[in-house]
Amino acid sequence: MSTTKVLDARIPGGPLAAKWDRHAMDNPLVAPANRRKFTVIVVGTGLAGGGAAATLGELGFNVLNVCIQDTPRRAHSVAAQGGINAAKNYQNDGDSIERLFYDTIKGGDYRSREANVYRLAQLSTAIIDQCVAMGVPFAREYGGTLANRSFGGVQVSRTFYARGQTGQQLLLGVYSALSRQVKAGTVTMIPRQEMLDLVVDGGRAVGIVCRDLVTGELKRYAGDAVVLATGGYSPVYFLSTNAVNCNTTAIWRSFRRGAFFANPCYTQIHPTAIPQAGDYQSKLTLMSESLRNDGRVWVPKQPGDKRRPSDIPESERDYYLERRYPAFGNLVPRDIAARAAKVECDAGKGVGNTGFAVYLDFADAIKRLGRDVVADRYGNLFDMYEEITADDPYHTPMRIYPAPHYTMGGLWVDYNLMSTIPGLFVAGEANFSDHGANRLGASALMQGLADGYFVVPRVVASYLAGAGKAKTKTESDAFAAVERDVQTRYERLLAIRGGKTVREYWWDLGRVMWDKVGMARSRPNLEEAITRIRALREEYWQNVRVPGGARDLNKHLEMAGRVADFLELGELIARDALMREESCGGHFREEHQTPEGEARRDDENFAFVSAWEYAGENQPAAMHKERLVFENVELKTRSYK
């Protein structure tokens, strides 16, 4: 495997705390009167994409913003429940930018880039100020100040929230800023457009080809820079907590055009989702991490104990997180809580019909705080749970099980959030940059808004100041060639007329990914996964059946293109997991664990970012390395005991 190319993250010099300001001074600007001459294409309208589009518009750039939803207000950021972190130290409990930085590096199991994480912690406080100024109705104390709660992996209260709908409220803030810029004429918003390919000409990103999801027409859009903010790739597992339209196509197609894909095997399995009930299921529903502020996780001590939870006395319950991790208790980070649930269930202590569930119990909280306080904090989640399971969590413990939720991996970007293709920027969950091998709760919203409101506007402006305008027109050969590729691919999919539906193949892929590339991975399983995914992909292109036509609203055709990309990405995830002979964060290799079953990292050989380069159809991708240099934190075994 070639590892010749050393990736340069272009991290500004100087002390950690001064890098971002120094970056501002060292990089060129575009004068206000010249900004409208540049067009920036932004793909996605979540916190990162919508925030970037609105802010670039405020600065005076000409912005073209596309999304697959029928309106920008529905981007998947909307579904984030629990909260957003910020190092405000409003609670006077010892928080600081340094502590948020340290918690995030440690939470990510020392596999993220120091400079990016520090910038994220620095920007966190301005995000809260900005959201408040835009009318985001955060939870407040009676005195009128902002309220906080705690999330996993930290010992301070730094999470700001709006009931269990924090993502919705932050996204509506972004949407309102975006709406204002649409009205002002700086942002052109085109919903129901799916980016299907990237146009690269003269070594820089110059545009995208989209499919109009209403008419089926292919559309060409040219710009001086392209920002991808299209989210993560959890639906490669088929069942996940993501929305059913979340997909990898925009970043995967860009990967095939030359953008490197970093750390694909860093996937987050969230510990608390409602367990799967049957094969018909289209998604898994998350129960917010905030519930672990007051809920206690337990299983019966005796394997195979089928008694109702109320019939199991205290002495026969194992509160295994409190037992194994006394310092953090139920609020250990997600990777640790998820794996611990798997260990209990694999030992036969799982509960419910399937045995793949553990209890999350609020009886003590209700006794301590009263039902009203618990209802005020978590009422909407309890209602959602009852609607789905027909059980009332006020009276009987919730049953929960881990589910694919977030992906730390994504397109490789440098400090400027620019990919290996000049002019192609990647923001939010779509990039790999801030969370290492595991993301802490309430940090996705923080990263989305940091990238969208603050980082992208600055770095894109300095790129444009240096690179100037792109010359490629939509009538050019470069655009025509890409459009032809897209059209051929979709015609091929429609022409197969085979015997299995798109969804059946997606389900099959998800099964392989969950069983072999899920919470616990091993060499034989990963090798088997690679073989099976390749076989599935080959079969797909011979036997999939896609109904309807191309020149029409056709959601099965949309799905067919996305699943074709997942079938390629799945293999890369497995290859990355196979390469990484260590356990870190969400990536757990059974061969690399301590006698107590904790992850065993190998800093000597694996303190690097893997960045994969596309090598051609059905060819294994080539790996490059970005060495991770830790100058400010000491590499330690991560412990929450």
Partner 1 sequence: MAETTSGKSIHLRIWRQKRGEQKGRFENYTVKNVLDEMSFLEVLDLLNEDLARQGQEPVEFDSDCREGICGTCGLVIKGVAHGPGSGCTTCEIRMRPFRDGETVTVEPFRAGPFPVIKDLVVDRTPFDRIQQAGGFVAANVGSAPDGNAVPIPKEDADKAMDAASCIGCGACVAACPNGSASLFVSAKIAQLARLPQGEPERKRRAWAMVNQMDAEGFGDCSNHGECEAVCPKAISIENIAVMRREYLKAFIGGSD
In the region spanning residues 354 to 413, those forming contacts with partner 1, defined by CB under 8 A, are: 354, 384, 387-390
Window contacting partner 1 (CB under 8 A); options: 181-189, 334-342, 397-405, 416-424: 181-189
CA 627/CA 402 separation, integer angstroms:
31
Q: What SS3 class is residue 225?
A: strand
Q: Decide: is 168 part of the binding site for partner 1 (CB under 8 A).
A: yes
Nearer to partner 1, 75 or 331 (CB): 75
Residue 205 parent element (H or E): strand 204-212
Residues contacting 493, CB < 8 A, separation 6+: 544, 546, 557, 560, 561, 564
Q: Decide: is 503 part of the binding site for partner 1 (CB under 8 A).
A: yes
Per CB under 8 A, the list member of 19, 23, 35, 74 interacting with partner 1 is: 74
- Annotated catalytic residue: which of 73, 74, 119, 334? 334
Q: How far is the CB of 246 from partner 1 (least distance, A)?
A: 8
Per CB under 8 A, the list member of 21, 552, 581, 591 interacting with partner 1 is: 552
CA 521/CA 581 separation, integer angstroms:
10
Nearest to 431 by CA among 283, 611, 605: 611
Cβ pair 38, 44 in contact under 8 A: no
CA 400/CA 286 separation, integer angstroms:
9
Per CB under 8 A, the list member of 3, 353, 531, 639 interacting with partner 1 is: 353
Q: How far is the CB of 401 from partner 1 (least distance, A)?
A: 14
Q: Decide: is 285 part of the binding site for partner 1 (CB under 8 A).
A: yes
Binding mask 118-157 for partner 1 (x = CB under 8 A): --------x-xxxxxxxx-xxxxxxxxxx-----------
Q: Decide: is 45 part of the binding site for partner 1 (CB under 8 A).
A: no
Q: Decide: is 6 part of the binding site for partner 1 (CB under 8 A).
A: no
Residues 245-274 that bind partner 1 (CB under 8 A): 245
Nearer to partner 1, 67 or 199 (CB): 67
DSSP bridge partners of 405: none
Q: Decide: is 64 part of the binding site for partner 1 (CB under 8 A).
A: no
Q: Decide: is 308 part of the binding site for partner 1 (CB under 8 A).
A: no
Binding mask 310-349 for partner 1 (x = CB under 8 A): ----------------------------------------
| DSSP 8-state secondary structure symbol assigned to residue 201 | E
Phi then psi dihedrals of residue 358, to 5 deg: -125, 165
Window contacting partner 1 (CB under 8 A); options: 25-33, 261-269, 539-547, 565-573: 539-547
CA 153/CA 206 separation, integer angstroms:
41
Per CB under 8 A, the list member of 371, 473, 484, 555 interacting with partner 1 is: 555
Q: How far is the CB of 104 from partner 1 (least distance, A)?
A: 20
CA 612/CA 187 separation, integer angstroms:
34
Window contacting partner 1 (CB under 8 A); options: 64-72, 294-302, 336-344, 621-629: 64-72
580 is catalytic: no
Nearer to partner 1, 128 or 156 (CB): 128
Q: Decide: is 190 part of the binding site for partner 1 (CB under 8 A).
A: no
Residues contacting 421, CB < 8 A, separation 6+: 198, 200, 204, 205, 254, 257, 258, 259
Q: Decide: is 24 part of the binding site for partner 1 (CB under 8 A).
A: no
Per CB under 8 A, the list member of 39, 45, 112, 169 interacting with partner 1 is: 169
Nearer to partner 1, 272 or 438 (CB): 272
Nearer to partner 1, 192 or 600 (CB): 192
Q: How many residues bind partner 1 (CB under 8 A)?
A: 85
Nearer to partner 1, 77 or 330 (CB): 77
Q: Decide: is 454 part of the binding site for partner 1 (CB under 8 A).
A: yes
CA 246/CA 244 separation, integer angstroms:
6
Cβ pair 263, 623 in contact under 8 A: no
DSSP for 406-458, please give it: EES-EE---TTSB-SSTTEEE-GGGB-SSSTTSPPTT-HHHHHHIIIIIIHHH
Residues contacting 593, CB < 8 A, separation 6+: 583, 599, 600
Q: What is the 3-state secondary structure (H, E, C) of 252-321?
A: HHHHHCCCCEECCCCEEEEEEECCCCCCCCCCCCECCHHHHHCCEEEEECCCCCCCCHHHCCHHHEECHH
CA dihedral 341, 347, 349, 354 (to 10 degrees): 80
Q: How far is the CB of 310 from partner 1 (least distance, A)?
A: 20
Q: How far is the CB of 156 from partner 1 (least distance, A)?
A: 17
Phi then psi dihedrals of residue 569, to 5 deg: -60, -40
Q: How far is the CB of 390 from partner 1 (least distance, A)?
A: 7
List residues with catalytic annotation. 334
